[in-house]
Amino acid sequence: MTTKDLVLAALFTAIIIVLGLIPPVTLGFIPVPITAQSMGVMLAGCIIGAKRGATAYALLVVLVAIGMPVLSGGRGGLSVLMGPTAGYIFAWIVGSFVTGLVAERFVREGQSNARQMAGFFIASLIGGIGVVYAIGMPVVSLVAGTPFDKVVMGSLAFIPGDVLKAAIATLAARAVMLGYPLLPQRA
């Protein structure tokens, strides 16, 4: 990775931390809150690409591990990385990588606006929702001792909000692509 790549990853880590300042919404039936930080997976993957996006989230996890209160609600520390939300937190790294990888494959300069937006949206759905849920839900089940089918049912409440986050990330990625044409050149 170049210095530019590391700077962009660190900048996105800062953006993800700022997204954490938005208070979490806790649902009583599942121990995982609704946070804006999960939208960062989609933003990072679509805007700065697979490697940089994953690096941004890996840096966030390091900051959490050393006790920095950088997660939504001012959470941080090793206990968070061992709790019910741990699977989702670690899944953010993989999810941003997959989001970026899909975006890099489907979105090209010179495509129609509709194709570019469809590519960003599909990337956000696959990486930011599919991958994150696939890793996060089994960990919630294991750590919280909740049957997996109940975790899946509880997670359905998050889908509409996550689809909205994917739409916002799509619009943001498209705006960045238009405004900063050199940024999408992936590492």
Residue pair 12/6 in contact (Cβ under 8 Å)? The answer is: no
Is pLDDT above 70 for 89? yes
Second CATH level (architecture) for the domain 3-179: Orthogonal Bundle (1.10)
142-183: per-residue pLDDT in tens?
999 999 999 999 889 889 989 999 999 999 999 998 887 656
Distance CA(34)–CA(165), nearest Å, equals 11
Q: Where exactly are the structural domains of the chain?
A: 3-179
Least confident range of 22-36, 43-57, 71-85, 153-167? 22-36
117-128: per-residue pLDDT in tens?
999 999 999 999
Residue type, 48: I
pTM of the model: 0.91
